[in-house]
């Protein structure tokens, strides 16, 4: 019992370890993948900052040329306003995070230091752009010059920011790869240990139990064989004196007897015949169980065999005022090959049961052709009666040995359930 408890405890420990490893792996991978997504978005936004500043410088030059030619239009100013707004929003998102851009703004110390260097250049460019927008592009030569002068410096600083983002993302990928290998190796170790200390002992134990069950089954088969052999031998031994009793009863019945004595002899004869039927059933049952029942193969007249069975039982049916009939399909041949003795025995049992459990009406034995394949023919024998029938819930007990559909029938009709 304690060993079984230990196996259960180890098995639960193994399952818990595997589940914890799987959950931990999923959480860690999900966290790192989320970080990778944020890192990719941050690299993308930081790279666009350089593009925005290049557009700002280009638009500023166009505004200067148009201002010198006296042809400044509102389109360039509006476009500059739009580009600068995107540039400022992106810068704010990189520093503080943004749901719109799907980034958290949680930067490393190195990136924060780089943004501290970018900050004065960013604000100087922002102020100059604001000057151009406030003046609608007029008299902004100094602001445009400052933008063009700070453009390259801003580009260099943002290149460093992008490089740092990329380096940190590569580091995360490397750590994720290392972690995946670590988890894989750990899982393999857990599985190996589980196999060595849990699964293999359980398999060995199951193998031993299987061997024990096989040995027990062989012993039970031997006991069953001994029982069947004993039952068959005893049935033979009991049937011999019963035949003697029947013979003596027949002889005694042919002597001069008064009415009471003749009743006593008839009772002895009937009881002996009933007991002999039971003994014969037990003998057949024991033969079947011990594997000694052999079916003979010989040609016989099926119609004649059925008529013999019906003629044998017709007096019993007549005593109960029952009509015993038989029906042959035209397709059923006269001569077939099989065991006529066993066939008669089965039909006698079926018809005896029908007569026993039928108080009025009729009993019909049908012989019908089912199929023919090559030299083999399937013939169906069925008995239909107007008796008490069987309740649907008791049908499953129909072919169980020593069992009847209703225990009350044993008292009313007799029988052992062997038929």
pLDDT in tens, 211-244: 899 999 888 888 877 776 776 676 667 767 877 8
DSSP per residue, 179-220: HHHHHHHHHHHHHHHHIIIIIHHHHHHHHHHHHHHHHHHHHH
User: Each residue of 340-383: pLDDT tens digit?
Assistant: 888 888 898 889 889 988 999 999 999 999 998 887 889 999 99
Name the pLDDT band for 135 (thresholds 50, 70, 90). confident
Name the average pLDDT for the chain. 80
Length of the chain: 419
Helix (H, G, I), strand (E, B) or coil at 377: strand
Q: Directed axis angle between helix 2-68 and helix 200-253, to 10°?
A: 130
| Residue 329: per-residue pLDDT | 92
User: Each residue of 44-78: pLDDT tens digit?
Assistant: 888 888 898 899 989 888 888 887 777 766 788 88
Report which of 19, 138, 41, 124 is spatially closest to residue 90, judged by C-alpha positions. 41
| Residue 123: per-residue pLDDT | 92
pTM of the model: 0.43
Q: Which of 10-19, 78-87, 354-363, 402-411 has the lowest mean pLDDT?
A: 402-411
Q: Where are the beta strands (DSSP E) in 209-253?
A: none
Taking CA atoms, 235 is separated from 25, 32, 136, 138, 309, in Å, by 73, 83, 125, 130, 25
Q: Which of 24-33, 67-76, 103-112, 344-353 has the lowest mean pLDDT?
A: 24-33
Name the pLDDT band for 301 (thresholds 50, 70, 90). very high
Asked whether 418 and 285 are in contact (CB, 8 A), the reply is yes
Tokens of 260: 């009471």
| Residue 230: per-residue pLDDT | 73
101 phi and psi angles, rounded to 5 deg: -90, -5
| Residue 120: per-residue pLDDT | 92
Name the pLDDT band for 387 (thresholds 50, 70, 90). confident
Tokens of 7: 């196996």
User: Each residue of 154-198: pLDDT tens digit?
Assistant: 889 989 988 988 888 888 778 777 877 887 788 778 777 777 777
* Percent residues over pLDDT 70 in the chain: 81
User: Each residue of 253-288: pLDDT tens digit?
Assistant: 888 888 888 888 888 887 887 777 777 777 766 666
How far apart CA 241 and CA 237 sit, in angstroms, is 7
| Residue 170: per-residue pLDDT | 82
């Amino acid at each position: 019992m304690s060993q079984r408890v230990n196996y259960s405890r180890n098995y639960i420990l193994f399952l818990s370890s595997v589940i914890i490893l799987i959950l931990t792996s999923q959480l860690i991978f999900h966290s790192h993948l989320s970080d990778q997504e944020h890192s990719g978005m941050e690299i993308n936004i930081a790279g666009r900052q350089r593009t925005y500043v290049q557009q700002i410088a280009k638009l500023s030059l166009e505004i200067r040329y148009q201002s010198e030619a006296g042809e400044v239009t509102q389109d360039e100013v509006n476009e500059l306003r739009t580009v600068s707004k995107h540039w400022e929003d992106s810068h704010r998102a990189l520093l503080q995070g943004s749901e719109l851009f799907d980034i958290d703004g949680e930067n490393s110390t190195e990136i924060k230091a780089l943004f501290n260097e970018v900050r004065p250049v960013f604000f100087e460019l922002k102020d100059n752009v604001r000057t151009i927008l406030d003046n609608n592009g007029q008299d902004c030569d100094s602001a445009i010059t400052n933008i063009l002068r700070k453009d390259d410096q801003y580009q260099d600083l943002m290149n460093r920011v992008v490089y740092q983002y990329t380096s940190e993302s590569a580091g995360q990928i490397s750590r994720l790869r290392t972690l995946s290998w670590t988890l894989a190796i750990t899982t393999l170790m857990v599985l190996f240990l589980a196999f060595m200390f849990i699964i293999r002992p359980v398999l060995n134990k199951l193998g031993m139990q299987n061997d024990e069950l096989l040995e027990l089954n062989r012993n039970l088969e031997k006991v069953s064989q001994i029982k069947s052999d004993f039952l068959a031998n005893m049935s033979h031994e009991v049937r011999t004196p019963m035949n003697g009793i029947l013979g003596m009863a027949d002889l005694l019945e042919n002597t001069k007897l008064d009415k009471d004595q003749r009743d006593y002899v008839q009772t002895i004869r009937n009881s002996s015949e009933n007991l002999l039927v039971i003994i014969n059933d037990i003998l057949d049952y024991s033969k079947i169980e011990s594997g000694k029942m052999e079916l003979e193969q010989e040609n016989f007249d099926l119609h004649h065999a059925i008529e013999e069975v019906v003629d044998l039982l017709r007096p019993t049916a007549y005593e109960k005022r029952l009509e015993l009939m038989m029906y042959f399909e035209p397709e059923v041949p006269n001569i077939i090959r099989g065991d006529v003795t066993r066939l008669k025995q089965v039909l006698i049992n079926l018809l005896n049961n029908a007569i026993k459990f039928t108080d009025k009406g009729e009993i019909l034995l049908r012989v019908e052709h089912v199929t023919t394949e090559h030299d083999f023919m399937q013939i169906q024998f069925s008995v239909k009666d107007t008796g008490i029938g069987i309740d649907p819930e008791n049908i499953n007990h129909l072919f169980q040995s020593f069992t009847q559909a209703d225990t009350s029938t044993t008292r009313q009709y007799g029988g052992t359930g062997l038929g």
